[in-house]
Chains A and B, each alone.
Chain A
Amino acid sequence: MKLPIYFDYSATTPVDPRVAEKMIECLTMDGNFGNPASRSHLYGWKAEEAVETARRQVADLLNADPREIVWTSGATESDNLAIKGVAHFYQKKGKHIVTSKIEHKAVLDTCRQLEREGFEVTYLDPDKDGIIQPQAIADSLRDDTILVSVMHVNNEIGVINDIAAIGEITRANGVLFHVDAAQSAGKVEIDIAAMKVDLLSLSAHKMYGPKGMGALYVRRKPRVRLEAQMHGGGHERGMRSGTLATHQIVGMGEAAALAKAEMHLEHERITTLRKRFWDGLADMEEIFLNGSEGQRYIGNMNVSFNYVEGESLLMSLKDLAVSSGSACTSASLEPSYVLRALGLSDEMAHSSIRFSIGRFTTENDIDEAVAEIRTAVSKLRELSPLWDMYKDGVDLSKVEWVHH
Chain B
Amino acid sequence: MAYSEQVIDHYENPRNVGKMNDSDENVGTGMVGAPACGDVMRLQIKVSDEGIIEDAKFKTYGCGSAIASSSLVTEWVKGMSLDEAQDLKNTKIAEELALPPVKIHCSVLAEDAIKAAVADYKEKQTKK
Residue ranges of A at the interface with B (Cβ–Cβ < 8 Å) = 307-312, 315, 333, 335, 345-347, 350, 382-388, 396, 401-404
Contact A311 B63 (CB under 8 A): yes
Number of interface residues of B (CB under 8 A): 31
Contact A346 B36 (CB under 8 A): yes
Flag the segment in B38-46, B47-55, B76-84, B91-99 that touches A: B38-46
Dominant secondary structure at the A interface: helix
Contact A309 B32 (CB under 8 A): no
Residue ranges of B at the interface with A (Cβ–Cβ < 8 Å) = 3, 11, 14, 17, 19, 31-42, 59-64, 66-67, 102, 105, 108-109, 112, 116
Q: Which residue on B lies nearest to A330, using beta carbons?
A: B1
- Write out the residue numbers on chain B whose beta carbons fall within 8 Å of the beta carbon of A310: 38
Bound-state CA distance A315–B103 (Å) is 15
8 Å CB contact of B102 from A309, A333, A335, A403 = A333
Decide: A404 near B63, CB < 8 A? Known: A346-B37, A388-B19: no
Show 10 residue pairs from A and B whose CB-CB distance is below 8 angstroms, ordered by the A residue.
A311-B38, A311-B63, A333-B38, A384-B40, A384-B59, A384-B61, A386-B40, A386-B61, A401-B35, A404-B109
Contact A309 B37 (CB under 8 A): no
Contact A307 B61 (CB under 8 A): yes
Decide: A385 near B14, CB < 8 A? Known: A307-B61, A309-B62: no
Contact B37 A312 (CB under 8 A): no
Contact A309 B38 (CB under 8 A): yes
Bound-state CA distance A10–B108 (Å) is 36
Bound-state CA distance A311–B17 (Å) is 19
Contact A383 B67 (CB under 8 A): yes
- Write out the residue numbers on chain B whose beta carbons fall within 8 Å of the beta carbon of A335: 38
- Write out the residue numbers on chain A whose beta carbons fall within 8 Å of the beta carbon of B3: 315
The 8 closest A-B pairs by CB, nearest first: A401-B34, A347-B35, A346-B36, A385-B42, A311-B63, A385-B59, A384-B61, A315-B64
Contact A388 B59 (CB under 8 A): yes
Given contacts A383-B59, A386-B40, A401-B34, 18 further A-B contacts (CB under 8 A): A309-B38, A309-B39, A309-B66, A311-B38, A312-B11, A315-B3, A315-B63, A345-B36, A350-B38, A383-B67, A385-B42, A385-B60, A388-B19, A401-B33, A402-B31, A403-B37, A404-B33, A404-B112
Decide: A402 near B64, CB < 8 A? Known: A309-B38, A309-B39: no
Bound-state CA distance A384–B38 (Å) is 12
- Write out the residue numbers on chain A whose beta carbons fall within 8 Å of the beta carbon of B62: 309, 311-312
**A-B CB pair tally, cutoff 8 Å:** 85
- Write out the residue numbers on chain A whose beta carbons fall within 8 Å of the beta carbon of B64: 311-312, 315
- Write out the residue numbers on chain B whose beta carbons fall within 8 Å of the beta carbon of A402: 31-34, 112, 116
Bound-state CA distance A308–B39 (Å) is 10
Contact A309 B63 (CB under 8 A): yes
- Write out the residue numbers on chain A whose beta carbons fall within 8 Å of the beta carbon of B32: 402, 404
- Write out the residue numbers on chain B whose beta carbons fall within 8 Å of the beta carbon of A401: 33-36, 40
Least Cβ distance of B113 to chain A in Å?
10
Bound-state CA distance A402–B42 (Å) is 12
Bound-state CA distance A99–B14 (Å) is 46
Contact A383 B14 (CB under 8 A): yes
- Write out the residue numbers on chain B whose beta carbons fall within 8 Å of the beta carbon of A388: 19, 42, 59
- Write out the residue numbers on chain A whose beta carbons fall within 8 Å of the beta carbon of B109: 404
- Write out the residue numbers on chain A whose beta carbons fall within 8 Å of the beta carbon of B61: 307-309, 383-387
Q: Which residue on B lies nearest to A350, using beta carbons?
A: B38
Contact A383 B35 (CB under 8 A): no
Contact B34 A315 (CB under 8 A): no
- Write out the residue numbers on chain A whose beta carbons fall within 8 Å of the beta carbon of B38: 309-311, 333, 335, 346-347, 350
- Write out the residue numbers on chain B whose beta carbons fall within 8 Å of the beta carbon of A387: 61
Decide: A385 near B31, CB < 8 A? Known: A307-B61, A312-B11: yes
Bound-state CA distance A232–B125 (Å) is 80
Q: Which residue on B lies nearest to A400, using beta carbons?
A: B34
Q: Which residue on B lies nearest to A347, using beta carbons?
A: B35
- Write out the residue numbers on chain B whose beta carbons fall within 8 Å of the beta carbon of A386: 35, 40, 61
Q: Which residue on A lies nearest to B70, using beta carbons?
A: A383
Bound-state CA distance A310–B39 (Å) is 11
- Write out the residue numbers on chain B whose beta carbons fall within 8 Å of the beta carbon of A347: 35-36, 38
- Select the residue from A311, A345, A386, A404 with max chain B CB neighbours within 10 A: A404
- Write out the residue numbers on chain B whose beta carbons fall within 8 Å of the beta carbon of A385: 31, 40-42, 59-61
- Write out the residue numbers on chain A whose beta carbons fall within 8 Å of the beta carbon of B60: 383-385
Contact B34 A403 (CB under 8 A): yes
- Write out the residue numbers on chain A whose beta carbons fall within 8 Å of the beta carbon of B39: 309, 404
- Select the residue from B35, B36, B59 with max chain A CB neighbours within 10 A: B35
- Write out the residue numbers on chain B whose beta carbons fall within 8 Å of the beta carbon of A333: 38, 102
